[in-house]
Amino acid sequence: MKKIYILVLIFLFSCKKEKICNCGVITWDYGNTTAIYPYQTIVVKNDCSGNERHFDVIPTSVYEHIWIGEKYCVINIYHW
């Protein structure tokens, strides 16, 4: 019976929990507001992986309040 408990404990402690990492630092931005396409592009460097990713659907209302070097968290993307 002790062997079963030990095996269960080993199994529980060996599972890695996935870390949600959807924040990073803005490294680049490109404002391109037109009547047809009123969105901006930013590049964010992930805090966990160091990877950079372009996000080009940032509404102008959000873009006006963010700056290069600031921390930015993305919704609905958990890591990149």
Per-residue model confidence as pLDDT tens digits over 26-74: 998 876 666 666 678 889 999 999 999 988 767 777 777 888 999 999 8
What pLDDT is stored for residue 11 in this prediction? 60
Buried b (16+ CB within 10 A) or exposed e, 4-43: eeeeeeeeeeeeeeeeeebebebeebeeeeeeeeebbebb
Cα gap 21→35, rounded to integer Å: 34
Question: What's the DSSP call for residue 77?
Answer: -
Q: Which residue has the tokens 């990492």?
A: 21
